[in-house]
A = this chain, B = another copy of it.
Amino acid sequence: MSVMRLGHINVRVLDIEEAVDHYVNVNGMIQTHVDPLGNVYLKCWDEWDKYSVVLSPSDQAGMNHIAYKVKSDADLDMYKTRITEAGIDVEEVPAGTLEFVGRALKFKVPSEHEMYLYAEKEYVGTSVGTTNPDPWPDDLKGVGAHWVDHALLMCPFDPETGVNTVAEVTSFMVDVLDFYLVEQVMVGPDGDIQLATWLSCSNTPHDIAFVGGPVSGLHHLAYFLDSWNDVLKAADIMSKKRVKIDVTPQRHGITRGYTIYYFDPSGNRNETFAGLGYLAQPDRPVTTWTEDQLGAGIFYHTRELVESFTTVYT
């Protein structure tokens, strides 16, 4: 496993000021840079690299690209070969193309999402430092998210016409990028159609997830919180700040995580995801959810899937 983590996500927003206010004062991120095009770069207090979210002004919400950080520059060469051998065009972009980032690989995964791999990003340090650090800084804003934890991407899926880019992108992530499958939802009369997958390149239950839907898109971008109690504080703060909450505090069956889903002012879904859930490991057997229990998998308490949850995304 040479991919270390989600490095950053580039999200399109309709009103950059409103968006920055949300990502700073609700999510608790710190603005670290604005580029000449007006893109705003932010990091969480517990992250050490320059940014993990880039907000890009646009007339349509959604995701421009998602980028993962690999361990070493040599990994980029290795992955360039493997991605190419998988029949996917990969473009090598020079250092600085992504601001503060070294050379990077750019390509489209089978679900049509644009992805980058990179090995270097400017280091700025966490808010607590590396010498005798406090466990949390004094000046937390909003929910005080620790870090960008994962993203869930919607993938074209239409089993009647044989389209299942969830399965395709999952295979790509596993075979080419060394992620491993942690949980999956299997549907269809024979339970053999992979509707959704959760994959890890670390020891957390997911670093990326894919769910089938009508079109390619961004379902949500998730932030890590420590505990169920932080989820309560987060929900209180969202109410105070009149954030549109999609799903109030609840446990996921899948990953066991404690969640709130809510929207940024442009309609991009955010999540606060709390708790480790469990320690994912390559030899931990894959957890499978069957179609009849899908509701409990997503929303463990109600055991019912809200339709808008899979139809509304950007």
Contact = CB atoms under 8 A, between A and B. Distances in A.
A236 B203 contact: no
Nearest to A5: B281
B236 A301 contact: yes
B256 A135 contact: yes
Contacts of A38: none
Given A228-B228, A258-B232, A245 B133 contact: no
A249 interface: yes
Nearest to A286: B130
Interface string A288-305: 111001001101111100
A125 interface: yes
Number of identical protomers: 4
Interface string A64-79: 0000010100000000
A109 interface: no
A204 interface: yes
A57 interface: no
Given A138-B240, A285-B48, A290 B131 contact: yes
A84 to B, nearest CB: 26
A162 to B, nearest CB: 26
Interface string A174-206: 000000000000000000000000000011100
A279 interface: yes
Contact of A276 (B236, B245, B276, B293): B276
A43 to B, nearest CB: 13
A253 B224 CA distance: 20
5 contacts: A4-B281, A131-B288, A131-B290, A132-B293, A134-B239
Closest 3 CB pairs of A and B: A132-B293, A229-B229, A203-B203
Interface of A: 1, 4-5, 46, 48, 69, 71, 123, 125, 130-136, 138, 146-147, 202-204, 224, 226-229, 232, 235-236, 238-240, 242, 245, 248-251, 253, 256, 258, 275-276, 278-279, 281-290, 293, 296-297, 299-303
